[in-house]
Amino acid sequence: MGIWTLCTNFLSPFLSLFQKPIPLASSQERIVSVSVNTLNSGRGETSLVARPGHTTPKMASPRTITIVALSFALGLFFVFMGTIKLTPRLSKDAYSEMKRAYKSYAKALPGLKKMGISSVLLRKIIGSLEVGCGVVLTLVPGRPKDVANFLLLLVMLAVLFFHQLVGDPLKRYAHALVFGILLTCRLLIARQSEDRPEREESREEHINAQENNKVKQS
């Protein structure tokens, strides 16, 4: 059984979890009204009155759903692939294939032997990186996901270089190519979602400053 078939069979049950939108926790919006009182003195006194509005549930944006789905699926994939490189418990055939592949990579790169890096050590380093970064992508929230994403992207570039070095056909490294593209897409989407709140916050500050100027002038 090929590695691509193993990956597809392993991830297909989990990808179906993301067909429905993910609801976010509802947030309470407060409406701020500005009233100008002209009592006693002829000067206008401005008071801000905050009253709670209706609680409205919010749904996750398509961008958020995409990031969550990609993080979960990619994390599981790399945990699976890294485990195959480290132990034969999941698939003896795939483990044997990995051992043969990394022996050919080490032979094609004599510089690794001079550095004291054998094929076994190279396989364990890449497998450990894949497992560790896959766990971070799946379970750890926040900025560490992007760091793990970037490290896995570097690993995929290295793997593609190894395959090209030994002259493997496309079907041997198609999975690395596809998941390298998915890692790139996830990283770009995550960076865009981080920049968007900053732009919205600066826009709100600009609008609030204009409203304050209008109130002062009145």
User: What are the extents of the domains in the chain?
Assistant: 62-198
Whether the full predicted model's pTM is greater than 0.85, yes or no, is no
pLDDT tens track for 189-212:
988 866 555 555 666 676 777 777
Q: What is the pLDDT of residue 199?
A: 57
Taking the CA atoms of residue 193, residue 156, residue 132 and residue 18 in that order, the dihedral angle to the nearest 10 degrees is: 50
Least confident of 101-110, 136-145, 197-206: 197-206
Residue with tokens 């002062």: 216
Euclidean distance between CA atoms 131 and 133, whole angstroms: 6
